[in-house]
Chain A
């Protein structure tokens, strides 16, 4: 079974600084997708970034980038120039390409951006 682990229940960062959220996963498959989702206080889940396992290049979306280490099964999210609006729960998710494309979510990291 696939598992996704986020070992940091809560983190804080000063506005304009950089923060990295950790995620590790366990799978025996070679093709899969990884995602980071953001859940602000409104509880609306918002896709932050996506990484395809067969691509070695790390995905970037504006201030958000990932460090994907396939051999280590690690998928961390780096937020640069943190903004107050980045305050939210962040969930790491793994999606297998087979067996009905099930998603597996980590338990989340609560990020507080301080002014």
Chain B
């Protein structure tokens, strides 16, 4: 069954700690994306990757970092430099032919 998995579903961290959110896809998609969603708001782009070993900053990249060592995986690290890290994070991959994005179930990160 093809799809995108994100783990864990809920994550709790203390302020000042870095935390890595996992995103794995078996859809054989080249492009992958990370979004942040705050209550009552739309999705804001953090980082995106068109291909392995290449990625670009989105609109709100400060305080975040990514890697793309494998086609299937696009982990996001929320660093201690991110001032307001508590949010819902969504990972997506894009079909090259139809340009449709497919989303994972999301990770709710709470930093206290």
Choose from A43, A45, A46, A102 the contact partner of B48 (Cβ within 8 Å).
Answer: A102
A45 CA to B56 CA, complexed, in Å: 23
Residues of chain A within 8 A (CB-CB) of B56 are 100
Choose from A44, A46, A101, A105 the contact partner of B99 (Cβ within 8 Å).
Answer: A101
- Which A residues from 1 to 36 make CB contacts under 8 A with B? 4, 33, 35
A50 CA to B94 CA, complexed, in Å: 13
Choose from B41, B94, B105 the contact partner of A101 (Cβ within 8 Å).
Answer: B94
- Which A residues from 62 to 115 make CB contacts under 8 A with B? 91, 93, 95, 97, 100-103, 105-108
Given known pairs A100-B48, A101-B31, the reply for A107 and B100 (CB within 8 Å) is: no
| Chain B residues packing against A (C-beta within 8 Å) | 31, 33, 35, 40-45, 48, 50, 56, 58, 88, 90, 92, 94, 98-103, 105-106
Closest 5 CB pairs of A and B: A45-B103, A105-B42, A105-B43, A107-B42, A33-B99
- 21 A–B contacts from the bound complex (CB under 8 Å): A35-B101, A42-B105, A43-B88, A44-B106, A45-B90, A45-B92, A45-B101, A45-B103, A47-B101, A47-B102, A50-B98, A91-B43, A95-B99, A100-B56, A101-B50, A101-B94, A102-B48, A103-B101, A105-B43, A107-B41, A107-B42
